[in-house]
């Protein structure tokens, strides 16, 4: 039987691959494939329509802040006038994205919608985030460390972005009701979409 030899180098950047919990990871922060996926995640999370993998490739950008320094002429040259005009408007519109959308969009390890929601309850802006406020929000030590370290390592990036970095405070219902979604849905297409709407109104959704 022929033994299967795992690769030792990243196929995108030739960086050294490291086994973590039996999974191979490329730890090179400059890896082109990683940067591409982070940009795709950012565009999706802050709801920039029309900014998919092929478009990102045509725009030849590798960092999030580069997206906000594109002129409409640059975009039109890359993807055409009609699509370029629409995309430019979407990028401008995304300037208004609150910290609630930005944090999950930054691809910070362990920091997703749940952690962001907790931080929004105790912080007014991203600049209020510290180990103390993370603990107050109920984040675990690993998540808190990832969050604080990422901010410290990316101060330059954050300063180059057009966003206010302010958390949008969600109105909570007076009785803090807990909702369990069961049965057939008529108003919304899926349980996940229904859950998001309920959470936006301050309800707690449980299975």
pLDDT digits 0-9 by tens, 100-129: 999 999 999 999 999 999 999 999 999 999
Contact between residue 99 and residue 165 where contact means Cβ atoms under 8 Å apart: yes
- Burial state string for 64-95 with b = 16 or more CB within 10 A and e = fewer than 16: beebbebeeeebbebbeeeebeebbebbeebe
Taking alpha carbons only, the member of 127, 115, 113 closest to residue 164 is 127
3-state SS string over 158-188?
HHCCCCCCECCCCCCCCCCCEEECCCCCCCC
Contact between residue 165 and residue 154 where contact means Cβ atoms under 8 Å apart: no
pLDDT digits 0-9 by tens, 146-197: 999 999 999 999 999 999 999 998 765 455 688 888 888 877 778 888 888 8
**Strand 204-206 to strand 178-180: parallel, antiparallel, or no bridges (unpaired)?**
parallel
CA angle 197, 201, 204 (to 5 degrees): 85
Beta strands in the chain (DSSP E): 17-20, 23-26, 178-180, 204-206
Arithmetic mean of pLDDT over the chain: 90
Beta strands in 61-186 (DSSP E): 178-180
Q: How many residues in the chain?
A: 207
Kindly state the tokens that stand for 177: 């009701």
pLDDT computed for residue 54 by the predictor: 92
**Strand 23-26 to strand 17-20: parallel, antiparallel, or no bridges (unpaired)?**
antiparallel
- Predicted TM-score (pTM) of this structure: 0.76
């Amino acid at each position: 039987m022929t033994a299967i030899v795992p690769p030792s180098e990243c196929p995108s950047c030739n960086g050294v691959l490291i086994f973590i919990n039996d999974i191979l990871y490329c730890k090179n922060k400059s890896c082109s494939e990683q940067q591409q996926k982070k940009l795709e995640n950012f565009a999706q999370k802050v709801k920039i329509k029309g900014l998919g993998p092929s478009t990102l490739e045509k725009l030849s950008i590798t960092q999030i802040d580069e997206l906000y320094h594109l002129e409409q002429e640059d975009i039109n040259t890359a993807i055409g006038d009609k699509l370029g005009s629409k995309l430019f408007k979407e990028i401008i519109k995304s300037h208004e994205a609150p910290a609630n959308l930005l944090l999950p969009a930054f691809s910070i390890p362990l920091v997703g919608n749940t952690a962001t929601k907790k931080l929004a309850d105790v912080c007014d802006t991203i600049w209020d985030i510290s180990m103390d406020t993370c603990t107050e929000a109920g984040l675990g030590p690993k998540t808190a460390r990832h969050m604080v370290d990422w901010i410290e390592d990316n101060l330059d990036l954050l300063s180059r972005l057009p966003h206010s970095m302010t958390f949008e405070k969600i109105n909570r219902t007076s009785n803090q009701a807990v909702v369990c979604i069961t049965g057939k849905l008529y108003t919304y297409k899926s349980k996940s979409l229904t859950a998001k709407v309920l959470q936006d109104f301050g309800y707690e959704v449980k299975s």
